[in-house]
Structure 1
Amino acid sequence: MVYILVYNAIGKILLSVMLTSCSFIILGIVNYFKSMFRGEPLYPSDFTQIGHMQSVIPMVMDYFSLKNILIGIISIVVFAFVVFTIRKHIKSIKIHIGMRIVLICTSLFMVYAFSNYPNTFVNKLFVKGGVYFPLWNQNMNYGQNGLVLGFLSNLDTTVIQEPEKYSKENMLQIANDIKKQYGVNVSEQKKAEKPNIIFLMSEAFWDPTKLTNLSFSEDPVPNLHHYIENFPGGQTIAPTFGGNTANTEFEALTSYSMSLLMPGSIPYQQAVTGQKEIPSIASELKKQGYYASAIHAFDRSFYKRDTVYNVFGFDNFNAEDTMKHKELAGDNVSDLSMSKEIIDELNKRKQPTFIHAVTMQNHFPYNPGRFEENQIEVNGLTEDASKAELEIYTEGVRRSDEALKYLIDQLDELERPTLLVFFGDHLPVLGTNKAIYKEAGYIENEETVSERLSMAETPLLMYANFDIPNDNLGLVSPMYFSNLVFDYAGLNKSPFYQFLSGLYKEIPVLRDELKVDKNGEEIKDLTKKQKEMLEQYKMIQYDLLVGKQYSKDILFK
């Protein structure tokens, strides 16, 4: 279909073959490398990040050997030579202009029909042919249907489907029901002084000692382990692996769940900037007298953060170009620099401050020579390359752990009470196709719920320089950070966050199609109450993220 369309549009057989073939080959190569590094296929939504390719390409170029690059160049040259050699032996086919118009229109119709298959006759053809799209498992989807059909099944870039019962009347009813049930319990200010609140999302931060079949010459994260023993701690269940940092951030700041969005969605790129304002923990705290500041040790335009943070209600955004402290650790701004930046931001004003900080130090790839010295030796891996890569990553984590201690030591010196939420955004990419995790015996094939959760668990710490209960948080989705923070900080909670606290008690983890309790057990049969709350939550998320925000004024009073 695509070839016929291109051929009739330009009228050149060989040129049409070259254009269509090269396009599909490029898509296949990009899909291969994304699957190899990230463990997930190429989505149409990935093209929303094409403007940042100049930042992404240097991160992965070291994985492309000179040999592979030369093979690619030679292949292109040979292909072009063959095409132009046989060109003179192919007779020109002349098609009447009227027939070309008919073929173009037919091709366009067929491309549309397949691209929009859920709403066309093609859907019936797929059903009769036994074609099934398991959208909850995209690797299976692409594996059994191929790149083209897998890609087409995700072509609808709608971030979230409109619920059937979505209307102003129903949203006002839901909002008022929640206000009636939870609004009467809106907590009073419990602390004499409102504490500073810090979200510190650490790039690819994970505890490598969870690879229990390996041995480490010393504990790479002794400070983290000490703090988690004495303060609330657990495991964040990140909605992503190896990348798409902004999706974990989206959950943490908005309290909305990626599990309710379409597979492959990047809401920062596709949805958030479509609204003038979206309620977030930043805007909620501002109503209580806070100053809201965001810090990111990289390009401010990445994932449209410069616009997104405005929509979320932040007062200020410091990126790498405006940070005062930006000493490097390897190729990126160090986590120690971020700790210093946070302290400087807290000292700028007397009012309580909310800081959302995003680090970059441990970003993939973990290449030889990244650090001048690797302090920790890892044993138990059979491949030398795996050992070298894991030791480099472990050195980065060790430095992050030291930066965490520096930050907490400085927080202890502050007069104002301060609450820190420290968490990793996702697990690191270690080896191609998660090779190091498999070599270490951490996972086999990710077909069990336990293994799927293991590849999503990153450390979670809630530290305070004032007394808070030492709770074992277990497994927690980032969407629940805000309601936990309001409780520990002793702050007022609007009806939405009261409702969220109720949902947290029922279903503390939402990831993809999974509902999981804090101990990692799948909740297979939802109770009537859980189903009702989840349905209300879905309606609210749609309304606030891409809808008319009918419920906002009621839920966030």
Structure 2
Amino acid sequence: MKTTLLKIGKAALVVLAALAVGCAAAFSMEWIALGSAQAALDWCAAVPAPFLLTAVFYGSGALLLGLAAGQLWIGALASGTVSAALALVSWFKSVINGAPLTVEDFGLIGQLDQVMGVAGDLTVPDFAWHAIALLAGTVLAAAVAGHWLTMGSGRARFTLATALLALGLCFGAGPGAAPLGNAFSVNTQERIQPAIAYRDYGLTVGLWRDACLLANREPEGYGPEYMDAVAARLDELLGGASAAPVSVRPNVIFILSESFYDMTRLPELKLSADPAENYHRLSREGISGRFFSSYLGYGTGYIEQSIFTGLTGKDLEPGTNICFRPDEEYSLLDSVATPFRKQGYETELLHAYNDSLYNRTVTYPRLGFDRLLFSQEIQSLDLNIQGSPYAGGYYLSDHVFVQALLNRMDAANAEGKPAFLFGVSMENHQPFDPEKFGYKCQIDVSSEILDEEDLAITRVMLEGLTRADQALGELTDALREREEPTVVVFFGDHRPNLFMTDGGTVYSHLGLCEGNDCADWTIDQVADLYSTNYLIWANDAALLKATAGTVRDTGIAAIGPAVLDAADMPRTRYWAMQERLGQDLLINTDLYCVTSDGTPYWNAADADLSDEDRELLELRGAVVYDVYYGKRYCVEKMNQPVGS
């Protein structure tokens, strides 16, 4: 009896020691995330249930590996290493882009060197080293106490490890996951924007929640008859929306200008000239307004996918990387580019960097592009390049990029084909180091709020925006001299998350938001900082579908249909649905949505939408489920015109 009690006591001591390791890991992760031990302590006290659940996760991992190796300190070392690595990666990502690590970011794990390359120099901060020292001390304590933390015989360890692994799978990813989450006060039902989820639950539980607890739910009554009824109801609501005749076949140059926005919208800055002079001039000749984006500071490839497929992360299961789904999914439904290819256009992607990121070499051919040209292929074209083609680092200059767009358009036209070109410029990409453009800035900027070091960083953004605007002017001036009808659709994918020397951003310094965490912002601040600018311009005013000078906001849900409309492309049932919804809902993401009058809401449930809009959203949800998670009963119908 005494021996049995002794064994139970030792086992309990081992479990408590493993839980202590988990507590150290959970606390250290918040220390790294929040920047101070006191802030981490306050978080743990404010939300004890997620803190304890995080400790259980890492403590269980340490115990499992300790049982496998026979020494708890080995499990503690592995558990501490994983927790510190995750926290540091998330912290670095927040520094680079203002957003924490998400499950979909793991899709880029094989391209980490490229991601770090475009981010600039990164160093581990002192407070992170202090947190890591705490973890190291925990491992050392487990090693010193190894005599008392005995793990039993090999057979016993194997039996216990097997049982622990089975429990871990059941409660981590299996049927026990939801009850476990509920037991620790985790919302297991609703989609939550990652920054908010991680604020409430911490990084580990937030990642686990997205990866294991939420899924796209099957519509009630789902089946072939149900989807036939969905298609029939869409026809009733959409009417003849897809019957756009193809009259003139204009060239379409669709440009994603990296981090472009109208910097004159920032308060408390004195500029010696207008950095968006051409944008403002051309806006009086075309259609322009705000472009509501799904990201701030990063996410270019994800934004591209949303525009071309009509999907956002909110449509997919949480944690899905929209750029790294099964290959076949990218060609199930027609993209924005598909009708151009079907109408005999030369469809090409031109990108001012290399092909290493966002899986573009796989996805873009399936989205309807005949040819992909990256930096090296562009430089092999017959261009008038004076000096180095690069500017601000390792990206092609926007000046060279404009020449490439014109070159490819002229080549297609010479073969008797109109051109559909999607260009991704990069000269204004981060990092915004003061020396990026050789400390040169064409426009002077001053401020009573920013000191000289912060102004030096701001000048880099200002110069990049100025060059992007000048390239837009060069392109449109060249198109005025050409007889071929051409439409230009130009937009910024997201604002740069411009960090100042103290870790704040230019936006927080200028009073546009409180801190860097969007979880603390008002809905109006989110809508403002998640918006850039766009322009639709044509060298023949008759090609515009509105009066010159029209101001009309748009977003990732609306700009794709606008491109189809600009060239009178026929719409499939899917894109007719997208176009109809985009007239009233410019963007709808996990973070926020915006209606056509520019009013932002936290979610579509609270938005001022008509009953018909809400019905369309429900029908669209059924279509997305069927195509990407169901039996694909409606794929063929969604690729046909309305009423067919």
Gap change, CA 1:148 and 1:490, over 3 Å in 2: closer
Moved more, 526-535 or 470-479: 470-479
Shift of 1:97: 2.5
Listed one character per residue, the Cα deviations across residues 287-343 of structure 1 (whole Å, up to 9, x for unaligned) are 222221111122224111001012112111111231126811111211122111111
Aligned amino acid, residue 560 of structure 2: S
Aligned amino acid, residue 374 of structure 1: C
Aligned amino acid, residue 451 of structure 2: E
**Correspondence for 1:358 among 424, 427, 435:** 424
Aligned amino acid, residue 285 of structure 1: F
Moved more, 300-309 or 276-285: 276-285
* Unpaired runs of at least 5, structure 1: none
1:385-404 alignment runs, 5 A limit:
385-404=453-472
Partner residue, 1:438: 508
Mapped pair 1:153 → 2:221: no
Partner residue, 1:509: 587
Gap change, CA 1:135 and 1:499, over 3 Å in 2: closer
**Correspondence for 2:538 among 464, 467, 480:** 464
Q: TM-score, normalised by structure 2?
A: 0.79
Aligned amino acid, residue 159 of structure 2: V
Gap change, CA 1:455 and 1:163, over 3 Å in 2: farther
Listed one character per residue, the Cα deviations across residues 372-418 of structure 1 (whole Å, up to 9, x for unaligned) are 21122222233333211111111011011111111111222222211
Gap change, CA 1:556 and 1:147, over 3 Å in 2: closer
Aligned amino acid, residue 54 of structure 1: D
Assess if the C-alpha contact under 8 Å between 1:205 and 1:459 holds in 2.
yes
Moved more, 474-483 or 419-428: 474-483
Gap change, CA 1:505 and 1:147, over 3 Å in 2: closer
Shift of 1:77: 9.5
Assess if the C-alpha contact under 8 Å between 2:256 and 2:423 holds in 1.
yes
Partner residue, 1:268: 323
Q: TM-score, normalised by structure 1?
A: 0.90
CA distance in 2, matches of 1:464, 1:546: 40
Shift of 1:41: 1.8
CA distance in 2, matches of 1:187, 1:86: 71
**Correspondence for 1:370 among 433, 436, 455:** 436
Assess if the C-alpha contact under 8 Å between 2:572 and 2:638 holds in 1.
yes
CA distance in 1, matches of 2:187, 2:245: 52
Q: How many residue pairs align between the two structures?
A: 551
Partner residue, 2:39: none
Gap change, CA 1:263 and 1:80, over 3 Å in 2: closer
CA distance in 2, matches of 1:75, 1:448: 32
**Correspondence for 1:450 among 515, 524, 527:** 524
Listed one character per residue, the Cα deviations across residues 520-544 of structure 1 (whole Å, up to 9, x for unaligned) are 2246354321111001112223334
Shift of 1:89: 6.8
Shift of 1:190: 5.3
Aligned amino acid, residue 100 of structure 1: R
Shift of 1:84: 7.0
Shift of 1:86: 8.5
Partner residue, 2:112: 53
Assess if the C-alpha contact under 8 Å between 1:253 and 1:479 holds in 2.
no
Partner residue, 1:330: 392
Shift of 1:82: 9.5
Identity rate, percent = 25
Partner residue, 1:110: 167
1:137-216 alignment runs, 5 A limit:
137-156=193-212, 160-179=216-235, 181-182=237-238, 184-189=240-245, 191=247, 193-216=248-271
**Correspondence for 1:384 among 452, 472, 476:** 452
Partner residue, 2:272: 217
Partner residue, 1:241: 296
Aligned amino acid, residue 321 of structure 2: I
Partner residue, 1:62: 121
Counterpart secondary structure, 2:182: helix
CA distance in 1, matches of 2:68, 2:609: 54
Partner residue, 2:410: 347
CA distance in 2, matches of 1:220, 1:335: 15
Assess if the C-alpha contact under 8 Å between 1:203 and 1:363 holds in 2.
yes
CA distance in 2, matches of 1:252, 1:89: 57
Gap change, CA 1:463 and 1:175, over 3 Å in 2: same
Structure label with greater radius of gyration = 2
Listed one character per residue, the Cα deviations across residues 126-175 of structure 1 (whole Å, up to 9, x for unaligned) are 43543336742322221222222122112249885554454333223322
CA distance in 1, matches of 2:133, 2:617: 56
* Unpaired runs of at least 5, structure 2: 1-59, 601-605
CA distance in 2, matches of 1:421, 1:301: 25
